[in-house]
Amino acid sequence: MILEALNYAASWPVTSAAHRPFIRSSVNLWARANRCRADWADHERRTMATILSAAEACRQRRTVVVLGSGLLRDVPVAELSRLFDTVVLVDLVHLASVRSWLTVKRFKNIRLIERDLSGLDALLAGEAVEPLSFLRQVPYLDFVVSANLLSQIGVGAARKLEGHVDAEVLVPQVIAAHLEGLAQVPAATCLVTDVGYTVIDRNNQTHETVDLMHGVDPGPVRDSWDWPVIPFGEESRDYKIVHRVIVR
């Protein structure tokens, strides 16, 4: 708890006022990732390998943008920094722990951007929902990665719209807008996302299955694997929650 409090306190002054409410959830994720590092290791390894393989296939390697860079545990930052002239990391919050790690490593070509990538505010305001339109302004863009972000857009939208009469219609729209945004990018793209999860007991019986895409088809799948996001003992002795991850 002390390390979590320190990370929270150090992240507060380097985070914009609009995004400070999200620091707590980022710190909680950081703490869970540390507790579950053994169970998450294969997922993180496979995500990094997927991103790196797609990056190495790019004919030009000027600028790469990583959407949902998060804790950087699943992003091959060092390799991307070596391959590309500029690496842009985009997320709601860049924790102090992440900023410190980047400083220690002395990366010279990495840029951090705070941004809400959901498009939900525009949707609620009746405006065009183009959460990735800012990518059109990125010079020399050759590669865009969406790293374990899409499902969280849906989760965040569902939480914000709880009780809203049109929630079941609006949440799929923000998910679809992200996919459409990636499709319109004039650059190579790589999407890694969990699309659903299953609650399983110690007898390997399934108790619940949830669609994190809210009915939206993510498109052709190139690879997939299971990610034990909540292993036995993390929230319950008797249940674990396993997410299904796809690559597109």
Over residues 40-44, mean pLDDT: 98
Q: Which own/partner pairs from 217-222 qualify as long-range (CB within 8 Å, at least 24 positions apart)?
A: 218/150, 218/179, 218/191, 218/193, 218/246, 218/248, 219/179, 219/248, 220/248, 221/246, 221/247, 221/248, 222/246, 222/247, 222/248
Over residues 127-145, mean pLDDT: 96
pLDDT for residue 246: 98
Q: Provide the CATH topology of domain 38-247.
A: Rossmann fold (3.40.50)
Least confident of 14-18, 51-55, 163-167, 202-206: 163-167
Q: Is the pLDDT assigned to residue 35 strictly greater than 90?
A: yes
pLDDT in tens, 184-238: 999 999 999 999 999 999 999 999 999 999 999 999 999 999 999 999 999 999 9
Query: What are the sequence ranges of the domains in the chain?
Result: 38-247
pLDDT for residue 244: 98
Other CB atoms within 10 Å distance of the CB of residue 116:
16
pLDDT for residue 247: 98
- Considering only CA atoms, which of 106, 187, 183, 182 is closest in space to residue 139? 187
